[in-house]
Amino acid sequence: MKKVYLDYSATTPVDERVFKKMMPFFSQKYGNASSLHSFGQESKLVLEGAREKVADLISASSEEIIFTSSATESNNLALKGLLKKGDHLIISSIEHHCVEETANYLKREGVLVTKLEVDKKGFVKDLQKNIQKNTVLISIIHASNEIGVIQDIEKIGKIAKKNNILFHTDAAQSFGKVPIDVKYIDLLTASSHKIYGPKGAACLYVKKGIKLTPLLHGGGQEQGLRPSTYNISAIVGFGKAAEIAGKEMEKDYNHQVFLRDKIIEEALKIKGCYLNGDNQKRLPNNINLRFSGIEGEALVIKLDLEGIAVSTGSACASAKLEPSSVLLALGLKPHQAHGSLRISLGKYTTEKEIDYFLKILLKSVKELKQISPYK
Amino acid sequence: MSYNEKIINHFKNPKNYGKMKNPSAVGKLDNKNCGDVMWIYLKIKEDIIEDISFETLGCAVAIANSSLLTTMVKGKTIKEALKIKDKDLIKEFGQVPKVKLHCSFLAVKALKKAINNYYEKGSSSYVGRSR
Ligand SMILES: Cc1ncc(COP(=O)(O)O)c(C=O)c1O
Ligand code: FES
């Protein structure tokens, strides 16, 4: 059966060039980058090379990049590393679970948390209004993993700066896909496996001068912020992926925007189909649709039976039987979130795949509507 | 979520779906758990369910359950149909993920509602109370 992967926001395949670059670091160049001997020094060199490549992509300097194992870890480090009892934290109502749940944890530990609402299109509202005397950190997702909406981080950063508050952004979905400059950002999360690098490598950008408390204590790696023996192959892969993403960003961006807009245009012709999130300021690879009268989990399974991989924010697909909180934050009713479908493209997605997808989508929606009491 | 072949078969090729013309009774159910909707249509003659169809807005398992239920009910007497429990549907499928157990309950409840509707219309004195 034909297989079409349209879930690149969940994770991406490793780019062949990245894989090739990583290969020697398993059995040949396996030195511990903290060792003094030649084996270690060889690893240290490539480690710093990777750091530079990641830093370059966001116009940061190398010393400001702290390698971690995942975006989840980076987000945890940023929030837990900065906040203590009595501090005030501002996040949005459309954060990834790993920021939301960390904020919930900190709340139980005595940190005060405000969740900013978003408007119908998905942009955060009322930031200035919610700043308090004890606000220490604003953490707002750069591009939503679900609805793809890209926040104006320059504007948010300027507000933070004016009020002398730190600004962290979770850029796991946008890093490497759209240009980012950390000028107005104090901390930023980026990840390797979302940009055709391997799983197991990510980073936290920490602007010079900002003091963090580490999550782990140990051998002092990463300026003491993230001790653990370096996962050198994954970090090398991350560096290579960042380098490629930088060089090929414009090409990949245009390619995906073309396919994205084709899907949106064709899908919106279906009766009862709507786009979730703003149609302009969104990731080049994200499409979030909703269909009235059908349920998203059934649609995902139907597409999967035809070899197509996508995802949904429907209650029926969640372990808790709750609709996606991100879709509800947009003001959608649970029954509207019920028919949602997230399609995320990648640089390897072809127009042929999209044509196939659209054909099967049309057929599947039609079939499910025939079964539904609401046509 | 991975479903077994029996569930997938009913989901892929559902039996007895669609609106019924001139039904004897209709049962409409909204699921409070996840927001799914299930409608069951019945054609009853002398206590025998001659025809049954469904319309479901729901997950793959909810659709599969609706389909399976209609095949189990068709041709049965009302009394026999009322004996069908959610665990009978689950048993027929073999394996149903835990979060999806309520979808079978939903189907059985919709059938009961339809049968109730039949009696409420005054066709007989028997009242099969839904749970
Ligand atoms: C915006 C965002 N933040 C954080 C994460 C967490 O990434 P990981 O599971 O690799 O830690 C993801 C991945 O889904 C994401 O999309
Ligand atoms: S009926 Fe909603 S999960 Fe099946």
Interface test with A, best of B12, B31, B34, B96 (most A CBs within 10 A): B34
Q: CA B101, CA B62: separation in Å to the nearest integer?
A: 9
**Does residue A55 contact residue A184 with C-beta atoms inside 8 Å?**
no
DSSP one-letter string for A189-239: EEESTTTTS-TT-EEEEE-TT-----SS-SS-TGGGTS-S---HHHHHHHH
Contact partners, residue A273, CB within 8 Å, separation at least 6: A267, A289, A290, A291, A292, A365
Do A214 and A277 sit in the same domain of this protein? Answer: no
**Which tens digits make up the pLDDT trace of A149-178?**
999 999 999 999 999 999 999 999 999 999
Confidence of residue A192 (pLDDT cuts 50, 70, 90): very high
CATH number of residue A323's parent domain: 3.90.1150.10
Both A133 and A229 in one domain: the answer is yes
A68 and A192 within one domain: yes
CATH code at A133? 3.40.640.10
pLDDT tens digits for range A98-125:
999 999 999 999 999 999 999 999 999 9
Report the candidate in A243, A211, A214 with the shortest Cα–Cα distance to residue A227. A214
Give yes or no: residues A229 and A333 share one domain: no
In sequence order, the 6+-apart residues with CB closer than 8 A to the CB of A312 are: A296, A297, A299, A300, A340, A341, A342
Instruction: Write down the pLDDT at residue B125.
Output: 44
Report pLDDT for B32: 77
Separation between Cα atoms, residue A142 and residue A96, nearest integer Å: 11
Tell whether the model's pLDDT for residue A286 goes beyond 70: yes
Say whether both A284 and A319 belong to one domain: yes
Least confident of A118-132, A241-255, A308-322, B76-90: A308-322
Q: What's the rounded Cα separation, in Å, for the pair A245 and A251?
A: 10
Inter-chain touch A374–B57, beta carbons under 8 Å: yes
Give the pLDDT score at A320: 87
> What's the confidence (pLDDT) of residue B130?
42
Give A14's DSSP letter.
P
Q: Are residues A236 and A266 in the same domain?
A: no
Whole-angstrom distance, CA of residue A6 vs CA of residue B68: 31
Pick the last residue of a domain from A226, A245, A264. Answer: A245
Q: How far apart are CA A126 and CA A183, in angstroms?
A: 22
From the candidates B25, B96, B103, B110, which is the catalytic residue? B103
Beta-carbon contacts of residue A371 (< 8 Å; ≥ 6 apart)? B14, B17, B18, B54, B55, B56, B63
Q: SS3 breakdown of chain B: % helix, strand, coil, rounded to 5? A: 45, 20, 35
On whether both A215 and A332 belong to a single domain, the answer is no
What is the number of domains present in chain A?
2
Number of domains in chain B: 1
Task: Tell me whether residue B120 is in a domain.
Answer: no
Residue B58 in domain: yes
Decide which of A245, A263, A290 is a domain's last residue.
A245
CA dist A195 to A105, A191, A345, Å? 29, 7, 12
Mean pLDDT value of segment A246-254:
98
With pLDDT > 70 as the criterion, what percentage of chain A qualifies? 100
Per-residue pLDDT at B1: 60
**Region A185-195 average pLDDT:** 98
> In terms of CA atoms, which chain A residue is nearest residue B13?
A367
Domain span holding position A285: 4-11+249-371
Residues enclosing ligand 1, CB less than 6 A?
Answer: A 70-72, 96, 98, 141, 145, 170, 172-173, 191, 193
B129: confidence class by pLDDT, cuts 50, 70, 90: very low
pLDDT of amino acid B127: 46
Judge whether residue B2 has pLDDT over 90.
no
pLDDT of residue B34: 82
Which CATH number belongs to the domain containing residue B90 in this structure?
Answer: 3.90.1010.10
pLDDT, tens digit, for every residue of B8-47? Answer: 999 999 999 999 999 999 999 988 778 889 999 999 999 9
Res B123: pLDDT: 56
Q: Residues B47-80: pLDDT tens digits?
A: 999 999 999 999 999 999 999 999 999 999 999 9
Separation between Cα atoms, residue A342 and residue A222, nearest integer Å:
36
Do A297 and A350 sit in the same domain of this protein? yes
The answer on pLDDT for B131 being more than 80 is no
Ligand 2 center–CA A103 separation, angstroms: 30
Asked if A4 and A307 count as a contact pair (C-beta separation under 8 A), the reply is yes
By residue range, what is the domain housing residue B89?
5-115
Same domain for A55 and A89, yes or no, is yes
- Note if the pTM is more than 0.90: yes
**Which residues, 6+ apart, have CB-to-CB distance to A359 below 8 Å?**
none
The reply to whether A193 and A270 lie within a common domain is no
pLDDT tens string A330-353: 999 888 899 999 999 999 999 999
Are A39 and A166 part of one and the same domain?
yes
Nearest to B29 by CA among B98, B102, B101, B114: B114
